[in-house]
Structure 1
């Protein structure tokens, strides 16, 4: 593919570039100038090079979730409506929220970390207050964050804010969710060199790729959903 692109570089300047599209299992449509995976199909008529017809479009295979993601979805099912509502309100892909919850708490709404993070998305009380959890005491904030609706809504708002702060760089957004925005800034806008944070980012991305049912190129930023892009 690369050799072909180099060989036809001069002609490509005078023609419309080929465009490929992929629709994920979550209904998100991505368009690219190259087929990152078998999910991508050539858009009919996208190449109008003189003297040759447009390439024939290749049907997009129906997305199939790998077996590992089936277990995640089974655990997520009791919270499906909550995740969907929070995703719609925050502009964050529901599959990304599902992946974060899988790694953060394993879908245990009563989970509490040694650092005081609470619930499905492991929200610390300070973040809860920052994103709208109002209460008279810290104990009441913690109690409210054990409510799956409040917890996922709050975590999604925070993650959505991080995605906007680090546009088109999901790795940094996830690193900040785990280690804090200050840690990302401390290391010059890179993923902090903490074993826990790096393992966390890797695990969330792996779950997310499986749930999306197509491989996101590891060296490419993960596209945002249409809702997130519009915000």
Structure 2
């Protein structure tokens, strides 16, 4: 299933350190987390997982430095901060089931796009939880982008469409979601836009965190049940 395929994309990172092992500081001041890096054909590749199936590519001069990221120390969070709105969780679960998408992937996109605000609007005109442009919304049957159920269903349908278009390549699908398929096709990969590169890394990092936490929760439940 697609949900399992997408989870495998970040499984190498989850099985190793659980989080990024390196932090790259770009010449423009941006910082991106990655699993490791390498120079390939004169380009600097920042791999987001151990098996090197996903990466973000830069010119060497665009990367100023690398540093090792230590394993994070778990910080207890207030219970209220960990509670997701039931209505949003239900919407994401329904949309994920309808389009065979991992609910944590959809949640990660919503967080990056709108922070969970159903009334969010970007300067470019994107609207709602998954920040749909009016044309994209109309193409996917969304008549009101500020209505959460319509927005999430439309956003999930669009992401499903992009994953199919790019043969389940999550990084390209996310890049297209952010910058548009035309940009991805023009550059034959992630466009050289700092915003898009940061967006792809941010969503994958959040997806990885959520999947890792889900695995830990399931493991704790399994251990409790065996006692």
TM-score bracket relative to the smaller structure: 0.5 to 0.7
Deviations 1:81-133 (A, max 9, x none): 00000111111111000000000000000000011100000001100111112
Unaligned runs of 5+ in 2: 18-73, 214-227
In structure 2, do the counterparts of structure 1 residues 67 and 167 end up closer, same or farther at CA, with 3 Å as the change threshold?
Answer: farther
What are the within-5 Å matches in structure 2 for residues 4-83 of structure 1? Answer: 37=15, 74-75=83-84, 77-83=86-92
CA change 1:29–1:169 in 2 (3 A) is closer
Question: Displacement of 1:168 after TM fit?
Answer: 3.1
Q: TM-score, normalised by structure 1?
A: 0.58
What runs of 5+ residues in structure 1 fail to find an aligned partner?
Answer: 1-23, 40-65, 134-140, 215-231
Following superposition, the deviation at residue 203 of structure 1 comes to 0.4
Partner of 1:137: none
Q: Greater strand share, 1 or 2?
A: 2
SS of equivalent to 1:213: helix
Aligned to 1:126: 135
- Cα gap change, 1:36 to 1:147, in 2 (>3 Å): closer
Partner Cα distance (2:177, 2:94) in 1: 20
Change (3 A) 1:68 1:91: farther
SS at match of 1:204: helix
Asked which structure has the greater CA Rg, the reply is 1
Contact kept, 8 Å, 1:90 with 1:157, in 2: the verdict is yes
CA shift at 1:73, angstroms? 5.5
From the superposition, tell whether residues 180 and 87 of structure 1 become closer, same or farther in structure 2 (CA, over 3 Å): same
- For 1:35 and 1:105, the matched residues in 2 are separated by 26
Report the TM-score, using the length of structure 2 for normalisation: 0.59
Query: 1:195: which partner in 2?
Result: 194
In 1, are the aligned partners of 2:7 and 2:211 still within 8 Å (CA)?
no
Quote the Cα distance in structure 2 between the aligned partners of 1:164 and 1:68.
39
Task: Measure the CA separation in 1 of the matches of 2:134 and 2:206.
Answer: 26
For 1:202 and 1:68, the matched residues in 2 are separated by: 25
Q: Secondary structure at the match of 1:115?
A: coil
Following the alignment from structure 2 to structure 1, what is the Cα–Cα distance between the partners of residues 164 and 139?
A: 16
- Cα distance change on mapping 1:119 and 1:36 into 2, 3 Å: closer
Summarize the alignment of residues 177-216 of structure 1 with structure 2, pairs less than 5 Å apart: 177-188=177-188, 190-213=189-212
Moved over 6 A (4+): 68-72
Tell whether the 8 Å contact from 2:14 to 2:212 is kept in structure 1 after alignment.
no
Partner of 1:13: none
| 3-state DSSP of counterpart to 1:173 | helix
Q: Is the 8 A contact 1:116 1:124 kept in 2?
A: yes
Structure 1 73/200 Cα, relative in aligned 2: closer, same or farther at 3 Å?
farther
